[in-house]
Amino acid sequence: MTTVLVDYDSGNLHSAEKAFQRMAAQSDAGKVIVTSDPDVVARADRIVLPGDGAFPACKKQLADYTGLFEAIEDATRNRAVPFLGICVGMQMMASVSREYENTDGFGWVGGEVVKIEPSDPALKVPHMGWNDLVIDHPHPVLNGINTGDHAYFVHSYHMRLTDPAHLLAHCDYGGDITAIIGRDNMIGTQFHPEKSQSAGLRLISNFLGWRP
Amino acid sequence: MLKTRIIPCLDVAEGRVVKGVNFVDLIDAGDPVESARAYDAAGADELCFLDIMATEENRGTMFDLVTRTAEQCFMPLTIGGGVRTSDDVRALLLAGADKVSFNSAAVANPDVVAHAANRFGSQCIVVAIDAKTVSPGKWEIFTHGGRRATGIDAVEFARTVVAKGAGEILLTSMDRDGTRAGFNIPLTRAISDAVSVPVIASGGVGTLDHLVEGVTQGHASAVLAASIFHFGDFTIREAKDHMAAAGIPMRMT
């Protein structure tokens, strides 16, 4: 079993790598490797796509690695490998992002990535810090994670889903913020599980054992 | 609902935690990685390391500390001190930092903030503002550990760096830092109300009521403190209980 963390020069992978390695070791879930190599992604048993920063920049960086976008697409869509997107990695699952300009995502989950506009003008953007989750749909990767558990968010854009069935959890920030999405073999978290202490580590462990 | 964050700050020099009282008289308060682990276990919402020496020869020590902390603490980590270029930001992010804080370099050239924010996203770019009261309702930026006046208005500067892409402001009152007399509330409120991004209040915490005031009166999104936690006056839990009792939404762990 090999879980790959896709490295496309977007932000800090060090904590994610260590968190996945720790949980993989505890549950005997095989190797965790960080790679930019499309051939390694093509052979992976699980794929994690992190992402920090602006959507267009992330998309461009991913596209700059020849064959990487296609390898992720093929493994996730055609081989149905379990996929976890984190933060902008989750947003990339959407059809389109409106951040700065219109940028296409993978289009696996219908929806668009739009600016957070809290109803209360006193609320700051970015939405930064710990917010409590409301679980909308149970899911194996959310085992042991309950409504009221906290996760660490840092983002100015979030995903607006076309089909509410794909919304696994949300949080409140002057309106609903999409926190976890999922369909078939794919799941994505707007928050950072690798920064969310025990609830985050639990989610990572569940993902490593998930057989969709 | 988003919770108010409590952020213990570890001032680091030559690989050890220190805390300056008004930025002099350093007292050794232990190993940074051990302290970070203790704060992680205690339910701190984030951690902040400030490299107060930040000399070139000490950079390697700081990277090593960040790396070792990020391997053991699965919580957000902000690093500041001696950050001059977007390449410095990149090196710290790669070592394991989640957010990186500019200070003097942003004062010298606010465009460095824009460059780093465009490259890595605003979410990981913090600007640390050290301000002193120069007359009632008027605050000026000081650099180099509070020793150098700049003549720059603190509120105006906060607006500038946010327009350049700063995702958060770490605001330290140089009048209050190390005094335990409480945050500079008018300063904190002026900056918090002037910018659209979160403001972390810092400098002067001596009691748990001070933490409450920073949020309720200063409008800060997060409170940073060092001595009251490092020297065991209060635990993170006591601080959170006290703030929650005052009606502030806190993450209880």
Q: Residue A144: helix, strand or coil by DSSP?
A: coil
CB-nearest partner of A195 from B74, B95, B118: B74
Q: How many CB pairs under 8 A join A and B?
A: 112
DSSP, res B52: S
Query: pTM for the full model?
Result: 0.93
* Contact across the interface for A194 and B1, Cβ inside 8 Å: no
Q: Is A73 a catalytic residue?
A: no
Number of domains in chain A: 1
What is the rounded distance in angstroms from the CA atom of residue A133 to the CA atom of residue A127?
A: 14
Residues A68/A76, Cβ–Cβ less than 8 Å = no
Q: For residue B126, which of B141, B106, B145, B143 has the smallest C-alpha distance? A: B106
Domain that holds residue A101: 2-208
Query: How many Å apart are CA B251 and CA B224, to the nearest integer?
Result: 15
Q: Do A52 and B121 touch (CB under 8 A)?
A: yes
User: Domain containing A88 — which CATH number?
Assistant: 3.40.50.880
Interface test with B, best of A15, A86, A195, A198 (most B CBs within 10 A): A15
Per-residue pLDDT of chain B (253 residues; tens, 9 = 90+): 999 999 999 888 888 887 643 333 434 457 888 888 888 988 999 999 999 887 666 777 888 899 999 988 999 999 999 899 999 998 898 888 999 999 999 999 999 999 999 888 889 999 999 999 999 999 999 987 778 899 999 999 999 999 999 999 999 999 998 889 999 999 999 999 999 999 999 999 999 999 999 999 999 999 999 888 887 788 899 999 999 999 999 999 8
Residue pair A41/A75 in contact (Cβ under 8 Å)? The answer is yes
